[in-house]
Every structure is written in C-alpha cells, then in structure tokens.
Structure 1
Amino acid sequence: MTIPAFGLGTFRLQDDVVIHSVKTALKLGYRTVDTAQIYGNEAAVGQAIAESGIARTELFITTKIWVENLSADKLIPSLKDSLKKLRTEYVDLTLIHWPSPGAAVSVKESMQALLAAKEAGLTRQIGISNFPIALMKEAIEAVGVENIATNQIELHPFLQNRQVVAFAKEQGMHITSYMTLAYGEALKDEVIKRIAHKHQATAAQIVLAWAMQSGYAVIPSSTKRDNLASNMTAINLKLDADDMAQIAALDRQQRLVSPDGLAPAWD
C-alpha cells in the first residue's frame, strides 16, 4: 500500500471554485485529490475530474466518511453515494473522517464496515483521520495495521504531533499531514522565511518540503494557479539537517482544528 507524498486538498472549496482548482491542478500535473463527504464538493470534484480527460487509472482519489455514516448499515451506502458524485466505480482511499462522537458507533464497527467496503471493491485502501493513540489502537485491533493505509492528522511546524507520529511509526502506519501551512500562519514565521531565502524558495515550499522529508504526505489546497504550480515544486526541494532542526524547534502544540463535540481526547 502506498500513499502519494503530494496531492491537492479541497477543504472549504465549493462549486465553481473547487472545479477550477481541481482542473487547474490536474493540468499542472497533480494526480492526487483529497475530498470528503462533509465538504459538500464531491460532485463538483467529480465533474472537474471527468472534464479533465485524465484516465482514472492515473488518479488517486481520497474521500472520507462523515460521522453520521459510521454505522455498519450506513457506511457502505454512503460511500456508494460518494462514488456516484465522484463519477467513479472506486476511490483509492477512504478514511473515517473523525471518530464517532461519544463513541456512539464503536471504532470496531466502523472499521470493519470500511474493510467490507474495501473487500467489495469500492475503495482500494482504507484508513483513519483525527485518531489519537487510544483510538488508533482500537482501529488496529479491529482490522489489523496492515489494513490501515494512513492516519490523516493536523500536523504543521507549530503542532508536530510527536506522540501520535511516534506511535504510528512503531506500528508501521503512514501519516498524512493536513493543515500543513497552519492556515498560512507558518508562512509568516521568521525562521521559515530565513530558510526560504537561503534556498531561494517560497515559505510554503519550505514547509511542504519539511513535511514530505519527514515522511508525511501533504495535501495543500489553493485556488491560484501560481500557488498550485509553486507548491508542487516542493517535491524536489531538499532541506539540510540544520533546516530540519530549526523547523522542529518551532513546535508549540498549537492546535488549530478541534471542533466542540467532535474532537477526541488528543494526545
């Protein structure tokens, strides 16, 4: 199982905006697109992909199951609905978007339903998102770590989530970073700006390169062609040990995403 190191995120992008972003990104050479049921843009993403003319086999599409659809009787029907919107017979990766609030649906039930979706050919790989260590353990117990392709978590220079990352590494589980640029806050940091100047790169390229060099997949979003093109070149940027150490020192446990009633007990 492999997760592409670099892709396009579509969080908060709707209608014509997301269609333009996805089509532009695909023209530039992006081949990985990340969406979710709760984003309300799966149909628009599906339209953009269809209009791009790019063969389905060249693409890696991720979607995420919303908390209302985590029960065994709802998960597969909801995923089939997502596939219709995305105009595809399968997705490459399906994640549990957030753990069920208050454990209304057990991790075991939702993970086993997700595994059944994989066995039915609806998704090539399955995984989790926003899972702390305790729930990662439950997911592993439910389906085996070999069936969990990634844990997609908030991870950026100011929240490096070291405990979750260390546990994932011990288990051989991959990590995908979302909010990698910290809502743009990381681009204003003086340390990152200095490293960017040293490499004649943008601050965004530095942060994305840091994350990928740390072994994480990244899914930045943008509506601007120049930024989409620029972000993609971070794949080829190599930071030295001093650069990596300086960014590692920026961690301050600054969590930006922790919705009331939805967030689990974070590590």
Structure 2
Amino acid sequence: MAGVGHKSHGKSHDMGLHAEQLAGRTQQRFFSAAEEENFTYPWAYEVDFDKTAEFDAEEMDSSAINLKIRELMQSGHGTITVKNPRAKHGVGVGILNRLNLKFEGSLGYFGCGLVDGPNIHISGRVGWSCAENMMAGKVVIDKNAGSTFGAAIRGGDLVCRGDVGSRTGIDQKGGTIIVGGRTGAFSGFMMQRGRMIICGDASKNLGDSMYDGTIYVGGQVEDLGVDCVPGEMNDTELKWLKTKLGMYGIEPACGIENLKKFVSGKQLWNYDNLEPAEKKLVL
C-alpha cells in the first residue's frame, strides 16, 4: 500500500476519512461499492460454483446442518441450497470459504456468524445477532431480522430487506449494513468504522457513543445518541450510495439523494482527559 500516511486526493480523502487519529499502525479506509477484493485461506476448499447440491434440513439439528455444508464444500460443491432450516439456531456459522449458500426458509439466532467469504441468501427471517463478526462476503435476508443485527461486523455486505430490531451494528468495525425498512433503538451503538444505511425510520439513541463510521437514514430519526451528530453529504458519497443500493435493488422512499448523514461528534475521543464539568456536558 504505497503512499499510506501521505497526503492524497483519492476518494477516501474526498469523503473526509483521514481526519481520525489512530495509535499504532495507520489504518486507512478505502471505498469500493462492489468490494470484489477477497482473500482466501490457503487451506480453503477448492469449490466449483457450477457444481450444485441441495439437502432438506427439516429433521437435522444445527450441528448436522453445518457439518453437511462442510462435507459438500470439501467435495467441491460451490453452490449449496439448504431447504427447511426451520429457524434453527447457529446455522451457517464459521464458513471461511468462497461459497454460494442459500437457505430456503428462516434461521434462528446467531445465524451465519463468523463467516469470511461466502455469499449467503436467506429467503425468510433471521433471529438475534445475524452475521455477528462477519469478515467478508455477502449475507442477504429477504424478510425481517432480530436485534443486534451485524454485531461487530468487520467487512462485507449485510443486507436485510425488511425491518430489524434494536442495536443494529453494535460495535460495528467495518463493512456495510443495509436495512430496507426500520431499525430499533441504539442502532450504531459504539460504532467504530464502516457504513450503515437505514432506508426507513430509526428509533431512539441512534449512533450512541459512536467512535467513527457513518450512518445514513432515509426516514425519521426519533433522537440521536450521545456524540452522534448530523454530517454533510458530498457527491462522492452520493455516487457510492447509488451504486451500493443499486446492487441489491433497494431505494429509500425519500430517494437516495435525500438520505440524512450522521457521524461521530468525536467529543468522547478524549473523554478521560475531560474535566468533570465537561463530562457532564458531553453526557
């Protein structure tokens, strides 16, 4: 990464992403709507996306479903369909491989967590903490999602076409979370990096205690959390938003150009150094 730490006029600079003060190794953020750059593990299975398989999970428990997915990957299947998952918990987790995976039905809590690389489509709903600690790839849910959607996500695209519960993107560290409908209270809580796009309304305490990152909202915001403030949209962001939402055929009712932007006010960055009276003002 030549030039890291030096002044540049790239897209990330245009979007004001180089004002942060980070200790240790410089960590710059670069925008690519498609995010096609994916790393693979040296021990990952060699799969062929044209080699397809499907199985019925109605009578299987979560462990058996996950084991079956791995067995099919090991045999080279790159496109796998799981029928009747019946909202079982902890399904589709820990997949560190390129894979096209489809669930025909709903998943329970902690579905598709700890994944790095697969493209996953869920035709139903998901419970709490879907795609927790996701590293890379895509997870798309056709219906609604529970609370802590995308907790601590680090990369990739996590998309829910419906509504989601509270604390969406809690401790988000990267990647993009897209919600086609509404989100609950404390969405973006302690957000550190990444982007969140809420096409509908946002409930109380949006972006509470967020350290960095960006939240876009198309509907009404009930109120902002501590240290979350309105930001100004620029042309580079608008272009990125159109490209990213266009990938999934999603558009807020207000129009992409009318999305509202929210960022960190950065008043909590040096919280320990504030005087007691100043801390009261911040909180």
Q: TM-score per shorter chain, which class? A: under 0.3
**TM-score, L = length of structure 1:** 0.27
Structure holding more strand per residue? 2
Q: With CA pairs under 8 Å and 6+ residues apart, which has the higher RCO, 1 or 2? A: 1
Structure holding more helix per residue? 1
**TM-score, L = length of structure 2:** 0.26
Which of the pair has more CA radius of gyration?
A: 2
